[in-house]
């Protein structure tokens, strides 16, 4: 059974030598810093057994994002001494950390392959920025896995959260997880995130896959809206978060890039543009496996149908090192 992190109580922080009044006072800065560091330790908020392992959900304070965040982990059954490789899953627009865990059925294959599934949330929450919840495809639930450069959205740093903060948090608090053996996958906006993060960090991830990813966001309405607001008007900044642009700059990709795309996906022609990415891969001879799946749409029914293939795809890379 996985080793769980120590849970920090919600009691007043008298254990740190700080009184509630000092935490509220102008002179309580040191105590606030102590309290904030304590909040960074993940606290378990739910647990359920599945395929011999456990789905567990946690919350913690994120210094990167400046707010409380949640993430979910599926721990497969394993021996206490066993180190478990990690597959990060990045979800799409409007999702939280719970969608993949509750809908994909990925735990069956993850249990068999002994791979932990880690699903972070899709954006900061609770910051109450003006306009953050005005539309479903921007702001809350739509962080696009980038580091915003515009002042208003300065807390939208999901790239740093996924690439830097979360792996460090896992390594420090879940000793059974082997974060040095990690792969990454995702759906739609999360597929965009998985691909761009992988191409910018091929030393950190062993393999990548995606379902219906937004592969060329500089040329689609979702990407143009998000990038203009988060990154400003400089198109060269946009290209740093576009998989079709990044693949040309990537070091030689050794393991195949697996993408499944539903042919009946209503977002296929206007938003997803998989063939733009396919052409970019051909130019540098990148090993892309693009599977156009007849009859499938953009939903979790589509993901659940092919998720076992993706788990096994990553298992080959994670177990070969």
Tokens of 314: 């990553």
Tokens of 155: 């807390």
Tokens of 157: 């740093």
> Which DSSP string do the residues of 18-85 spell out, in sequence order?
--HHHHHSTT-HHHHHHHHHHHHS-EEEEEEEETTEEEEEEEEEETTTTEEEEEEEEE----TT--EE
CA 240 – CA 180 distance, rounded (Å): 25
Burial environment of residue 233 by CB neighbours within 10 A (0 to 12, 13 to 18, 19 or more) = exposed
Question: Cα(first)–Cα(last) distance of the chain, in Å?
Answer: 24
Q: Any catalytic annotation for residue 178?
A: no
Tokens of 297: 């749409």
Q: Looking up tokens 């993850």, which residue turns up?
A: 110
Q: Any catalytic annotation for residue 250?
A: no
Question: CA 82, 46, 98: angle at the middle one, nearest 5?
Answer: 90
- Catalytic annotation, pick one of 265, 310, 313, 317: 265
- Catalytic annotation, pick one of 60, 187, 192, 298: 298
Q: HSE-up of 198 (CA within 13 Å, CB side)?
A: 32
Query: What are the C-alpha distances in Å from 172 to residues 51, 86, 294?
Result: 26, 14, 44
CA 157 – CA 66 distance, rounded (Å): 10
Question: Phi/psi class of residue 212: alpha, beta or left (left: φ > 0; alpha: ψ in -120 to 50)?
Answer: left
Q: Any catalytic annotation for residue 298?
A: yes
- Catalytic annotation, pick one of 188, 207, 209, 317: 188
Positions marked active-site? 188, 265, 298
């Amino acid at each position: 059974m996985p080793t769980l992190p120590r849970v920090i109580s919600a009691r007043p922080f008298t254990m740190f030598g700080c009184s509630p009044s000092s935490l509220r006072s102008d002179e309580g800065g040191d105590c606030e810093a102590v309290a904030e560091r304590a909040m960074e330790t993940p606290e378990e908020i739910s647990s359920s057994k599945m395929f011999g392992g456990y789905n567990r959900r946690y919350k913690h304070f994120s210094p990167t994002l400046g707010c409380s965040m949640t993430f979910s982990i599926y721990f497969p059954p394993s021996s206490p001494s066993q180190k478990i490789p990690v597959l990060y899953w990045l979800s799409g627009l409007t999702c939280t950390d719970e969608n993949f865990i509750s809908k994909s059925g990925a735990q069956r294959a993850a249990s068999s392959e002994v791979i932990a599934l880690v699903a972070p949330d899709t954006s900061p929450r609770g910051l109450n920025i003006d306009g953050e919840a005005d539309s479903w495809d921007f702001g809350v639930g739509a962080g696009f896995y980038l580091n915003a450069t515009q002042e208003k959205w300065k807390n939208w740093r999901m790239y740093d959260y996924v690439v830097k903060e979360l792996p460090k948090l896992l390594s420090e608090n879940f000793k059974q997880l082997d974060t040095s053996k990690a792969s990454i996958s995702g759906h739609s906006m999360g597929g965009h995130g998985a691909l761009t993060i992988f191409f910018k960090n091929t030393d950190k991830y062993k393999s990548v896959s995606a379902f219906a990813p937004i592969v060329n966001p500089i040329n689609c309405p979702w990407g143009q809206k998000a990038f203009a607001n988060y990154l400003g008007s400089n198109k060269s900044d946009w290209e740093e978060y576009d998989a079709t642009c990044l693949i040309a700059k990537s070091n030689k990709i050794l393991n195949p890039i697996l993408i499944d795309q539903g042919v009946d996906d209503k977002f296929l022609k206007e938003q997803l543009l998989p063939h733009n990415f396919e052409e970019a891969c051909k130019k540098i001879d990148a090993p892309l496996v693009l599977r156009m799946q007849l009859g499938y749409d953009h939903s979790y029914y589509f993901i659940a149908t092919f998720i076992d293939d993706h788990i096994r795809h990553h298992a080959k890379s994670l177990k070969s090192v």
